[in-house]
């Protein structure tokens, strides 16, 4: 059967529940469509034990460049439209997963340079539209590593229209949602593997915005529903002793608008609903090391930003409507470290920030709807947390803004305006 992309399912026949699974063997496994009239759940089991590697190696002189390099151990993609659907999914990864993109860029590029490198151990994606969907998703990543690396090397190259260079690595990822949806069930994620994302860029001249970033995550769960919808979900995430690290290193001799960013998280749950109610039960436990490091260096610069953010456990649960009920438990015993550095010679504005947190939770509902927030929150942090921002400028420009923020536990709950 044809595979579905994780996008809104416009144009599909009404009342369908369709799922496909992609394995990393040469011949992908597939599952038949789940007939909605049966009322039973699809069962999908995947185990990946071998190594999965994606490599794009370029030595080019081009006007415009677009690179997409992905490597995935286990992948489930599904869609449910105008009917009831249910899935029981179990994904187990014991092999290494890596994506690597070395790019030698030569000469003058008069177009946009866009490079994305992504590695995922286990990935589960479902799009819904006018549906009632129940999920039971379990993911376990215990391989040697999940890594994504990009090296953009062009010490004499000119990128005239700017660009975006990004690397992302995630051990376990779940993404669900869509318009007019009732979303219920459970997501369970456990990881014990090195997760590493690194982006390196060395360019001579960029007279336009250039963003260079790295993002590393142990467990990530996301549910976003719009319109008249409802969520009732349990999310359980555990990152055992391991290292989650994101590194960004950038050197541009002459940069007009340059940003280097790194983000690392062990456990992250993002639950958002624009209309209706939300009931969420989240549990997060991190025992590993979480590190984000960003270094940006220029000789001549216009505006330069260097940012690093590291969080062990993070929950964002919000509804732009009337009711949120959140039970949240977070425990962090691992070390959390964020470091951002900027080294410059002369130019204009520079902004450097480092943020680190052991446990973080944000919950909100809508004020103009008579919104109500009910929270039972427990946060325990026993690990060290540090945030460091460094700036070294030989000839300071107009402004240098430097900030660092390290916190063991942080909780924010509020009533917002619709859409706010």
pLDDT of 413 over the 60 cut: yes
User: What is the pLDDT averaged over residues 215-226?
Assistant: 97
Going by pLDDT thresholds of 50, 70 and 90, the confidence category of residue 122 is very high
Per-residue pLDDT, 63: 84
pLDDT of 400 over the 60 cut: yes
Per-residue pLDDT, 35: 53
Cβ within 8 Å of residue 396, ≥6 positions away: none
pTM listed for this prediction:
0.90
pLDDT of 140 over the 80 cut: yes
Per-residue pLDDT, 198: 98
User: What is the pLDDT averaged over residues 368-390?
Assistant: 90
Please, what is the end-to-end C-alpha distance for the chain in angstroms?
41
User: What is the pLDDT averaged over residues 150-169?
Assistant: 97
**Three-class SS state of 36:** helix
Quick check: 167 and 198 in contact, CB under 8 A?
yes
Per-residue pLDDT, 225: 96
pLDDT of 214 over the 50 cut: yes
Per-residue pLDDT, 386: 97
Number of H helices, E strands in the chain: 0, 23
Tokens for 48? Answer: 């990946």
Residue 158: burial class (beta carbons within 10 Å; 0-12, 13-18, 19+): middle
Quick check: 338 and 295 in contact, CB under 8 A?
no
pLDDT of 5 over the 50 cut: no
Per-residue pLDDT, 179: 96
**DSSP label of 24:** S
Going by pLDDT thresholds of 50, 70 and 90, the confidence category of residue 62 is confident
Quick check: 314 and 266 in contact, CB under 8 A?
no
Per-residue pLDDT, 34: 58
Supply the mean pLDDT for the chain: 88
Q: For residues 107 and 38, what is the distance between their CA atoms, to the nearest angstrom?
A: 60
Per-residue pLDDT, 60: 85
Quick one: what percent of the chain has pLDDT higher than 70?
A: 87
Per-residue pLDDT, 40: 58
Q: For residues 97 and 77, what is the distance between their CA atoms, to the nearest angstrom?
A: 19
């Amino acid at each position: 059967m044809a595979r579905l992309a994780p996008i809104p399912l416009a144009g599909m026949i009404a009342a369908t529940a369709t799922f496909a699974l992609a394995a990393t063997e040469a011949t992908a496994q597939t599952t038949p469509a789940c007939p909605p009239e049966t009322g039973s759940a699809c069962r999908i089991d995947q185990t990946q034990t071998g190594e999965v590697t994606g490599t794009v190696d370029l030595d080019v002189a081009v006007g415009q460049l677009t690179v997409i390099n992905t490597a995935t151990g286990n992948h489930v993609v599904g869609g449910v439209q105008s009917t009831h659907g249910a899935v029981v999914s179990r994904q187990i990864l014991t092999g290494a997963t890596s994506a690597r993109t070395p790019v030698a860029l030569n000469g003058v590029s008069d177009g946009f340079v866009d490079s994305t490198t992504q590695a995922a151990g286990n990935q589960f994606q479902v799009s819904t539209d006018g549906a009632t969907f129940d999920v039971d998703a379990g993911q376990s990543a215990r391989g040697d590593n999940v890594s994504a690396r990009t090296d953009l090397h062009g010490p004499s190259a000119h990128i005239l229209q700017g660009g975006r260079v990004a690397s992302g690595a995630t051990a376990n990822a779940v993404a669900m949602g869509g318009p007019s949806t009732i979303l219920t069930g459970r997501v369970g994620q456990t990881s014990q593997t090195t997760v590493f994302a690194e982006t390196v860029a060395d360019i001579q001249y960029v007279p336009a915005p250039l963003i260079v970033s790295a993002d590393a995550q142990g467990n990530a769960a996301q549910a976003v529903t719009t319109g008249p919808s409802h969520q009732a979900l349990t999310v359980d995430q555990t990152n055992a002793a391991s290292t989650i690290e994101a590194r960004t290193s950038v050197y541009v001799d002459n940069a007009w608008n340059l940003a280097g960013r790194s983000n690392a998280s062990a456990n992250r749950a993002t639950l958002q609903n624009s209309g209706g109610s939300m009931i969420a039960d989240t549990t997060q436990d991190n025992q590993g090391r979480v590190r984000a490091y960003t270094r940006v260096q220029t000789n001549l610069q216009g505006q330069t930003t260097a940012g690093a953010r590291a969080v062990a456990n993070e929950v964002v649960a919000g509804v732009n409507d009337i009711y949120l009920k959140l039970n949240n438990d977070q425990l962090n015993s691992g070390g959390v470290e964020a470091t951002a550095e900027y080294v410059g010679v002369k130019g204009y504005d520079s902004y450097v920030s480092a943020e680190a947190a052991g446990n973080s939770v944000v919950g909100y509902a809508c004020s103009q709807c008579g919104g109500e927030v009910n929270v039972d929150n427990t946060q325990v942090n026993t690990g060290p947390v540090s945030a460091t921002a460094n700036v070294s400028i030989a000839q300071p420009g107009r402004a240098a803004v430097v900030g660092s923020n390290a916190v063991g536990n942080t909780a924010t709950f509020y009533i917002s305006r619709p859409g706010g």
